[in-house]
């Protein structure tokens, strides 16, 4: 038990380190405002979790710090210059409504960050989907004069992108402040999979689902471009790592997790293809939560049956041994 | 005496139609986003439910359950007609926005389910008083819901602008209604259990003395 | 691909998630997982046949009596209610005893009536929908939507009623919030 707790804490630490590197990149592109937004989001999330746990007569322990990583995931999905009020409301909503009402970390149903993101999308969609251009830096309490559409939006509508591979790799294009640095995301994915901090099955399923469909039904004229851009745009890579592959939500076995990730990605891709909906993968990940829950229940049932079979076999073997011994004695 | 009294008032708090039994929640989720809609729903719900239950109480009890339920539903759908015609004069604006939720009040669970299970097990006078408080319980919930949702979703109170810095548009949508009602239900339950805890403690103290 | 886009459209038209119709019935049926799906299935039968009778009502009812539409819908559903109960009774007493509670819950509620009134509204706005096939199709669609929502609720049922959920939110309040979040995702897709 203690080993499992220790493992969870180390996993959280790994995730936090990768998220912080992404935040560093956001600071590089958008300045102190991005840093302050993340800090605010994490602080409010921690405060909301602390108060909720006190109301539930529970103690705030080191394990409850997952709320901080949830806060950071949400902050990285937002534009760097979004209003602080929105950040505060969304962080409170995500922790209280999507997490604590269901019992907190012991009984996770949804990915809090994904719910927080959809909450902002449904209430302040315009503020959420207009972004500053990279290197458009401002102070903590100022905003840039012009905001632009994201590269994902342009790609969804036209199937084309005017960025070099180097720019794409470094995330030097307009979009959510921390979820566009492809190079860092790839490194983060490899580290987290190798350290078993995220579900490898769900991640591979999600990436392969997007890639296969982007090849079969391309958004761009060139299939390879379609695969490349579809993986980078619409936060597919980011959501595949931190939302779909979240071990708290995804099925435990890689086999089931793969199909969960695969179908989530396929649905999201079709939505992008047919409606040009930006960042559809986050929405679909919440819609597919009942499927993840069902798969987890199925896993448990299979495990239960397997254990029962093993027990019955052991008992049978023991009974056979007993009869052999008694026969020998006679 | 006290238990009898509490039974009559049950519908207002301890056995609230919406928060305790989760009945008649569709109009609250969809239409309970502005005070104007709420007032129109209160008018319709109160009159339709009150008269339908009162008239239904004259239906012979010996009839089979299914037949009685059909008759209750038919009575309430007839009561709904004059109520809607009158509402078209008083709440013309709200009627359009409420749409199908107006006639749907005629088949609400309080009439179709609770009549047999609860009201018709009581004596007429007691039933009337109890029904009144059940209706009042619903009215209070939709009024509170509409007030809070309108304030934070539109930044208005009864369509008058108030100083709210940041409105939350989603609160006026159906999902906002679901979530808000869920939270309200939770808070209601917490308060109810605290009250019952403290009253049980008081009873224990009295019996100890 | 078309199947998925159709499914998304079907989800976006779900009467519970988008219009909260039949939510109370869903919660009444949410006593256990089995009854949830059984009630949803019986409601589908009611919405399907109910919409056929709504079509007949809309065809035969003179315009000056449209205020009585609800009355005639109630009458039609009432007749269906009696027919289903009688048919089940004569088919098998055992099955009747088992299934009658689902029929009682499923007959008069916002899910069935709301479906009929929604179809009526759509047909009034677009006369090309004034067709028996369209009415029944809409009825089946609404019923299937109800089954999908019941399945969505069933998937999380254990977690929503778990002892890990705070006592005040355990059960119905958690279910409402859960459905609200799913409904929010559906809304975001529109």
Complex-level ipTM beyond the 0.85 threshold: yes
User: Which helix or strand (DSSP H or E) is residue B130 part of?
Assistant: helix B124-154
pLDDT in tens, chain C (190 residues): 677 777 777 777 788 888 888 888 888 777 676 778 888 888 999 999 999 999 999 999 998 888 899 999 999 999 999 999 899 888 888 888 888 877 888 888 888 999 999 999 999 888 888 889 999 999 999 999 888 898 899 899 999 999 999 999 999 999 999 999 999 999 998 8
Q: How many domains does chain B have?
A: 1
Q: Which domain holds residue B7?
A: 2-208
CB contact under 8 A, C155 and A97: no
Selected for mutation to probe chain B from C119, C176, C178 (highest B CB count within 10 Å) is: C176
Q: Does C85 sit within 8 Å of B103, measured CB to CB?
A: no
Both tokens of A254, joined, read 């890689």
- Give the per-residue SS3 of A235-284: CHHHHHHHHHCCCCCCCCCHHHHHHHHHHHHHHHHHHHHHHCCCCHHHHH
pLDDT in tens, B41-50: 999 999 999 9
SS3 (DSSP) at B157: strand
Identify all chain B residues contacting A124, using CB atoms and an 8 Å cutoff.
169
C89 in contact with chain A, both atoms CB, cutoff 8 A? no
> How far, in whole angstroms, is CA B109 from its chain's centroid?
10
The answer to whether the CB atoms of B168 and A83 lie below 8 A apart is no
Tell me the chain B residues in contact with residue A85 when contact means C-beta distances shorter than 8 Å. 165-166
Do the chains contact at C168 and B77, CB–CB below 8 Å? no
b/e map C99-120, b = 16+ CB within 10 Å: bbebbbbbbbbbbbbbbbbbbb
For chain A, which residues lie within 8 Å of any Cβ of chain B, measuring from their own Cβ? 83, 85-86, 89, 97, 101, 119, 122-124
Tell me the whole-structure pTM to 2 decimals.
0.93
Each residue of A124-175: pLDDT tens digit?
999 999 998 888 777 778 777 788 899 999 999 988 888 888 888 888 888 9
* Number of residues in chain C: 190
Whether residue A98 and residue C185 make contact (CB cut-off 8 A), yes or no, is no
CA A160 to mean position of chain CA atoms: 26
Residue B166 to residue A101, Cβ atoms within 8 A = no
């Amino acid at each position: 038990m203690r080993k499992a707790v220790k493992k969870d804490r180390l996993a959280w630490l790994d995730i936090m380190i990768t998220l912080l590197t992404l935040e560093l990149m956001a600071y590089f592109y958008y300045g102190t405002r991005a840093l302050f937004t993340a800090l605010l989001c994490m602080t409010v999330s921690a405060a909301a979790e602390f108060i909720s746990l006190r109301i539930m007569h529970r103690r705030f322990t080191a394990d409850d710090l997952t709320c901080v990583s949830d806060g950071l995931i949400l902050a990285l999905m937002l534009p760097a210059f979004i209003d602080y009020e929105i950040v505060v409301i969304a962080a409170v909503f995500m922790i209280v409504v999507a997490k604590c009402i269901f019992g907190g970390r012991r009984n996770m149903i949804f990915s809090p960050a994904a719910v927080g993101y959809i909450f902002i999308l449904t209430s302040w969609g315009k503020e959420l989907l207009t972004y500053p251009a990279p290197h458009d830096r401002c102070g903590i309490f100022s905003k840039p004069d012009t905001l632009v559409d994201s590269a994902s939006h342009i790609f969804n509508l036209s199937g084309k992108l005017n960025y070099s591979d180097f720019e794409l790799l470094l995330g030097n294009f307009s979009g959510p402040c921390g979820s566009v640095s492809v190079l860092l995301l790839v490194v983060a994915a490899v580290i987290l999979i190798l350290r078993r901090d995220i579900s490898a099955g769900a991640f591979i399923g999600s990436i392969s689902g997007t890639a296969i469909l982007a090849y079969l039904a391309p958004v761009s004229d060139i299939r390879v471009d379609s695969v490349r851009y579809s993986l980078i745009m619409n936060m597919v890579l980011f959501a595949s790592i931190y939302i779909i592959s979240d071990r708290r939500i995804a099925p435990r076995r890689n086999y089931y997790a793969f199909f969960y990730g695969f179908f989530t990605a396929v649905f999201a891709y079709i939505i992008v293809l047919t409606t040009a909906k930006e960042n559809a993968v986050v929405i679909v990940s919440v819609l597919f939560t009942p499927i993840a829950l069902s798969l987890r229940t199925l896993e448990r049932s299979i495990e239960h049956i397997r254990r029962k079979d093993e027990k019955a076999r052991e008992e049978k073997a023991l009974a056979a041994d007993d009869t052999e011994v008694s026969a020998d004695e006679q | 005496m006290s238990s009898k009294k509490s039974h009559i008032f049950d519908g207002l708090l301890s056995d609230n139609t919406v928060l305790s039994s989760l009945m008649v929640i569709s109009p609250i989720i969809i239409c309970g986003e502005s005070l104007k809609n709420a007032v129109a729903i209160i008018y319709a719900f109160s009159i339709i439910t009150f008269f339908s239950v009162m008239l239904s109480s004259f239906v012979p009890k010996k009839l089979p359950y299914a037949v009685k339920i059909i008759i209750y539903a038919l009575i309430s759908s007839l009561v709904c007609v004059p109520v809607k015609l009158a509402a078209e004069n008083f709440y013309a604006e709200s009627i359009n926005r409420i749409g199908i939720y107006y006639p749907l009040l005629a088949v609400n669970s309080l009439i179709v389910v609770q009549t047999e299970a609860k009201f018709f097990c009581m004596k007429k006078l007691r039933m009337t008083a109890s029904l009144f408080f059940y209706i009042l319980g619903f009215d209070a919930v939709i009024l509170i819901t509409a007030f809070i949702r309108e304030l934070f979703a539109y930044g208005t109170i009864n369509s008058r602008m108030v100083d709210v810095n940041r409105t939350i548009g989603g609160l006026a949508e159906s999902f906002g209604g679901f979530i808000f009602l869920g939270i309200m239900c939770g808070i209601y339950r917490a308060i109810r259990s605290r009250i019952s805890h403290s009253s049980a403690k008081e009873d224990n103290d009295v019996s100890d003395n | 691909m078309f199947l998925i886009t159709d499914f998304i459209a079907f989800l976006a038209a779900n009467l519970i998630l988008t219009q909260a119709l039949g939510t109370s019935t869903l919660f009444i049926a949410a006593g256990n997982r089995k009854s949830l799906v059984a009630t949803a299935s019986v409601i589908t039968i009611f919405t399907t046949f109910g919409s056929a009778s709504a079509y007949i009502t809309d065809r035969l009812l003179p315009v000056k009596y449209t205020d009585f539409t609800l009355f005639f819908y109630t009458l039609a559903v009432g007749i269906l209610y009696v027919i289903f109960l009688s048919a089940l009774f004569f088919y098998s007493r055992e099955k009747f005893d088992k299934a009658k509670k689902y029929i009682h819950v499923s007959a008069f509620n916002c899910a069935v009536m709301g479906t009929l009134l929604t179809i009526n509204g759509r047909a009034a706005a677009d006369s090309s929908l004034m067709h028996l096939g369209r009415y029944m199709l809409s009825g089946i669609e609404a019923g299937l939507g109800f089954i999908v929502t019941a399945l969505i609720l069933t998937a999380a049922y254990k977690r929503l009623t778990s002892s890990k959920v705070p006592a005040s939110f355990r059960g119905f309040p958690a279910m409402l919030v859960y459905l609200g979040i799913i409904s929010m995702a559906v809304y975001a897709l529109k």
